[in-house]
Structure 1
Amino acid sequence: MKRSEILDSLIFFLLGLSILLFFISFFQKDRTSKVEKDVEELSLNLYQETYQLKKRMKVLEEEFMIDGQAPHLPTFSTPPHEINAILKNQVIALHKQGLNVEQISKQSALSVSEVQKIILQLS
């Protein structure tokens, strides 16, 4: 056999093999479509749960509005010896703006007595 005959037979063999593999690929299961369906189902479930949570939150907010009372949220204040300079400056600035002690207390998350002590330190 000549070299050209071997190359010709190798090319025909590879061509036939490629055609055979091409047709086999049509009969293989598409794994990506299952994954896509799973992701789509998961995202739909997520959207539904988010919608349900938003709906429940809206109902709870409306109940609080109907009751006329906001839920009591605890206010945390730091002890007087731990009040930092930034917080003191905020209290002083609010006092200079004309806010009363209760308003300053709410905005700064300090107790009324702590706000009063800071204001008295100015004098």
Structure 2
Amino acid sequence: MRRSGILNSLIFLLLILSILLFIISFFQKDRTSSVEKEVEELSLNLYQETYQLKKRMKVLEEELLMDGNGSQNQSFSPPRNEINAILKNQVIALHKQGLNVEQISKQSALPITDVQKIILQLS
């Protein structure tokens, strides 16, 4: 009999302890909410920084498009007498693929006359 009394009191004690721990768990600080807030703040900071960078890039692009007199520069093509070696290689590769001069001109952003000069230099 004594053994069942100890068992009953032990079970009762464990039951009380589990109820106590259950109640304490409700008052415990939720760690996930703080992590969620940190992630949200980091996300907002990232979006703001990205927006600022895009704004700066737009200003820089506008400045590059303006020449010294304040008028907009319409052409991005290199000077007529100097064509980049990479562009020359691109024109040559496109010509070897069988594209016509107009298609090569569109893909390389070079005038047709420059494309023709490069192709003629191959011969």
Q: TM-score range by the shorter chain?
A: 0.5 to 0.7
Partner residue, 1:41: 41
Q: How many residues align?
A: 109
Structure 1 stretches of 5 or more lacking a match? none
- Aligned-residue CA RMSD (Å): 3.9
Residue identity (%): 54
- After the TM superposition, which of the residue ranges 40-49 and 28-37 deviates more from structure 2? 28-37
Matches within 5 A, 1:100-119: 103=105, 106=108, 115-118=119-122
Look up the SS of the partner of 2:37 in the other structure.
Answer: helix
Where has structure 1 moved over 4 Å in runs of 4 or more? Answer: 69-74, 86-89, 111-114
Partner residue, 1:90: 94
Q: Is the Cα–Cα contact under 8 Å of residues 104 and 115 in structure 1 kept in the other structure?
A: no
Specify which structure has the bigger relative contact order, considering alpha-carbon pairs within 8 angstroms and separated by 6 or more residues.
1
Q: Is the Cα–Cα contact under 8 Å of residues 95 and 119 in structure 2 kept in the other structure?
A: yes
Structure 2 stretches of 5 or more lacking a match? none
Give the TM-score of the pair, scaled to structure 2.
0.59
CA distance in 1, matches of 2:11, 2:28: 26
Partner residue, 1:60: 60
CA distance in 1, matches of 2:93, 2:85: 19
